[in-house]
Structure 1
Amino acid sequence: MASENFVQANITHFNGHYDHWSMLMENFLRSKELAKLDSLRLKDLKAKNYIFQAIDRSILETILCKDTSKQIWDSMKKKYQGTAKAKRVKLQALCGEFETLCMQGGE
């Protein structure tokens, strides 16, 4: 992609959280082909670099043990998509209870 050559890279500034910063910087440098890697590993590092830029540090800390972009994606999908589905199901159940709720005499 020719447009990739013109995009200014976002370099993560160190803010005191070394583990977070070092993981981002290592992946960033490798994804910019500053280390010799095979093409599949390089593509994965580039994908991880984009994912890392798109998520907050507090969320990133929960996926530190994931090695590939697929593992990161699947972990986030399981954690956050599952949560949304659970909330939707709970909301539907509560709406159903509310609709069938009747006042008893003396209430």
Structure 2
Amino acid sequence: MKEGESIADYFTKIRSLSNLMKGCGEAVRDQLVVEKVLRTLTSKFDHVVVAIEESKDLESFKIEELQSSLEAHE
């Protein structure tokens, strides 16, 4: 994620890339995408990332839930 980029724009890019990967036959699980997004957020979301990792079950956490949580903190 770039500094100043909105969560909505970032997730648009993420969804586009994951759809391209799925189109090429790659198995892309929500859990993998969620973990990658949490690692690539800018430092202004560090406290939100920690809260999500500690309070949510990342195995069942959906991309849509992550996006709405991050947009609420944006």
TM class by smaller structure: 0.3 to 0.5
**Higher relative contact order, chain-length normalized (CA < 8 Å, sep 6+):** 2
TM-score by length of 1: 0.29
TM-score by length of 2: 0.37
Rg bigger for which structure?
1
